[in-house]
């Protein structure tokens, strides 16, 4: 039994096809198939069900899968440990970001600048960046597919995940200066119930802000009417400026809305605090509670936590 065969087997299961596994591993599809057949002959059992459109593990394959992953993880751990003691930090760090996080600066903390400085000091470390929803990135952290992530929190972090809150801002309703909501505002705020029948503009499902909004509306006895979605708060504000609905965004995340009902903002928008209940959106640096597996990821986590503002999430 060879490690390459285990690697191919795990890749086929995760990709659901021999072609996908081959593309991921930069090996031809026939090469992957041949190695899997050799492994099955050696074990005397079929590991994969090839009858459907998607290749799936058999009962035996499911039982073997965890051991195959553990063996590959152990070999990777040996390699990373040896590199750590060599005095030259190497390896690969996978970092997930919510859309817009790379361009944001919070209390002087710039994630792009921090990554650039880390790369200057450790040029042999490969840093892989990706953008996704918070929900999917938290799941990827738990699976070990991401080392670190900057996520939006819709509630408490799931078990197994630790966070350092970077930003904790109240949510506001961004509306045009002629919107009827302005007449309902009291001291620059409106109750959440005032949004019951309104067309809303929000971040997509799976984001922390959307989770906060949906949870609060459910507790208030209604489902939010989200008619437009976009991945960046600045786009939500632009849609609201065109009269397409009420944008629910973090306070200060948009330059076109201004707090309070009185003054007209430069973009023709006003920001009304959402009250009864007050809603907050949080952005946090997240990692597995047990810590990243590799020394490079652990070093980067320590650097980011030392430089970033905020506090641990409860």
- The CATH number linked to 97 is 3.40.190.10
Among candidate residues 73, 111, 71, 119, the one with its CA nearest the CA of residue 93: 119
CB atoms within 10 A of CB 84: 17
- Does residue 99 lie in a domain region? yes
- Give whole-number Cα distances, 7 to 59, 186, 206, 223, 246, in Å: 19, 61, 31, 45, 49
DSSP character at residue 267: T
User: Would you say 167 and 283 are in contact if contact means Cβ atoms under 8 Å apart?
Assistant: yes
Mean pLDDT in residue range 89-99: 85
Mean pLDDT in residue range 46-75: 89
pLDDT of residue 257: 44
pLDDT of residue 105: 61
For the cut 60, the answer to whether the pLDDT of residue 255 exceeds it is: no
Among candidate residues 257, 303, 267, 293, the one with its CA nearest the CA of residue 79: 293
pLDDT of residue 107: 61
pLDDT of residue 269: 85
Q: Are residues 71 and 206 in the same domain?
A: no
Stronger pLDDT, 281 or 257, i.e. the higher one: 281
Task: Write down which residue in 76, 103, 133 finishes a domain.
Answer: 76
Q: Are residues 233 and 249 in the same domain?
A: yes
Q: Are residues 174 and 275 in the same domain?
A: yes
Q: Which of 128-137, 162-171, 245-254 has the lowest mean pLDDT?
A: 245-254
- Does residue 85 lie in a domain region? no
- Does residue 86 lie in a domain region? no
Task: Please count the residues of the chain.
Answer: 314
For the cut 90, the answer to whether the pLDDT of residue 250 exceeds it is: no
DSSP character at residue 186: B
Q: Are residues 128 and 171 in the same domain?
A: no
- Does residue 115 lie in a domain region? yes
Q: Are residues 188 and 275 in the same domain?
A: yes
pLDDT of residue 260: 43
Q: Are residues 122 and 194 in the same domain?
A: no
> Phi/psi zone of residue 197: left (φ > 0), alpha (ψ -120 to 50 degrees), beta?
alpha
pLDDT of residue 163: 93
For the cut 90, the answer to whether the pLDDT of residue 293 exceeds it is: no
- Does residue 187 lie in a domain region? yes
- Place 87 in a pLDDT band, splitting at 50, 70 and 90: low
- Does residue 131 lie in a domain region? yes
Q: Which of 28-32, 48-52, 307-311 has the lowest mean pLDDT?
A: 307-311
CATH of residue 25: 1.10.10.10
Each residue's pLDDT tens digit, 119-160: 998 888 889 999 888 999 999 999 888 999 999 888 888 999
- Place 103 in a pLDDT band, splitting at 50, 70 and 90: low
Q: Which of 8-12, 14-18, 108-112, 247-251 has the lowest mean pLDDT?
A: 108-112
- Does residue 84 lie in a domain region? no
- Give whole-number Cα distances, 93 to 31, 225, 304, in Å: 29, 39, 13
For the cut 80, the answer to whether the pLDDT of residue 83 exceeds it is: no
Domain count, the chain: 3
Give the alpha-carbon dihedral of 134, 140, 160, 248, to 10 degrees.
10
Q: What percent of the chain has pLDDT over 90?
A: 36
For the cut 60, the answer to whether the pLDDT of residue 254 exceeds it is: no
- Does residue 81 lie in a domain region? no
Q: Are residues 71 and 101 in the same domain?
A: no
Q: Are residues 46 and 137 in the same domain?
A: no
- Place 258 in a pLDDT band, splitting at 50, 70 and 90: very low
The boundaries of the domain holding residue 67 are 3-76
pLDDT of residue 75: 85
Q: Are residues 292 and 157 in the same domain?
A: yes
Task: Write down which residue in 76, 102, 127 finishes a domain.
Answer: 76
Mean pLDDT of the chain: 85
Q: Are residues 188 and 140 in the same domain?
A: no
Q: Which of 49-63, 88-102, 246-260, 279-293 has the lowest mean pLDDT?
A: 246-260
Mean pLDDT in residue range 220-231: 93
pLDDT of residue 106: 62
Task: Write down which residue in 76, 106, 131 finishes a domain.
Answer: 76
Distance between CA atoms of residues 220 and 223, nearest Å: 9
pLDDT of residue 122: 87
Q: How buried is 199 (Cβ within 10 angstroms: 0-12 exposed, 13-18 middle, 19+ buried)?
A: middle
Q: Are residues 195 and 257 in the same domain?
A: yes
pLDDT of residue 259: 43
Q: What percent of the chain has pLDDT over 70?
A: 88
Q: Are residues 303 and 229 in the same domain?
A: no
């Amino acid at each position: 039994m060879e490690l390459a065969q285990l690697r191919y087997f795990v890749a086929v299961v995760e990709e659901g096809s021999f072609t996908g596994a081959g593309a991921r591993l930069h090996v031809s599809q026939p090469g992957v198939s041949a190695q899997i057949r050799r492994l099955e002959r050696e074990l005397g059992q079929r590991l994969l069900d090839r009858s459907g459109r998607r290749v799936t593990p058999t009962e035996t394959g499911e039982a073997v899968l965890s051991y195959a992953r553990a063996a590959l993880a152990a070999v990777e751990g040996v390699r990373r440990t040896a590199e750590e003691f060599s005095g030259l930090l190497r390896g690969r760090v996978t970092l997930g970001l919510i859309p817009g996080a790379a361009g944001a600066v919070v209390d002087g903390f710039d994630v792009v600048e921090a990554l650039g400085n880390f790369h200057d000091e450790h040029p042999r470390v490969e840093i892989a960046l990706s953008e996704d929803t918070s929900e999917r990135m938290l799941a990827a952290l738990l699976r070990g597919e991401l080392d670190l992530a900057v996520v939006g929190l819709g509630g408490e972090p799931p078990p197994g995940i630790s966070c350092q809150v970077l930003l904790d801002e109240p949510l506001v309703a961004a509306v045009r200066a002629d919107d009827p909501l302005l007449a309902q505002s009291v001291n620059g705020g409106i109750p959440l119930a005032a949004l019951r029948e309104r067309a809303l503009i929000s971040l997509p499902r799976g984001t922390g802000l959307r989770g906060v909004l949906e949870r609060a509306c459910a507790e208030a006895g209604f489902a939010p009417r989200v008619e437009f979605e976009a991945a960046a708060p600045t786009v939500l504000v632009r849609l609201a400026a065109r009269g397409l609905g009420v944008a629910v965004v973090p306070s200060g995340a948009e330059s076109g809305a201004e707090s309070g009902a009185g003054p007209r903002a430069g973009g023709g928008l006003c920001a009304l605090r959402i009250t009864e209940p007050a809603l907050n959106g949080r952005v946090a640096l997240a990692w597995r509670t047990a810590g990243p597996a590799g020394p490079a990821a652990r070093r980067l986590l320590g650097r980011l936590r030392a430089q970033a503002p905020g506090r641990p999430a409860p």
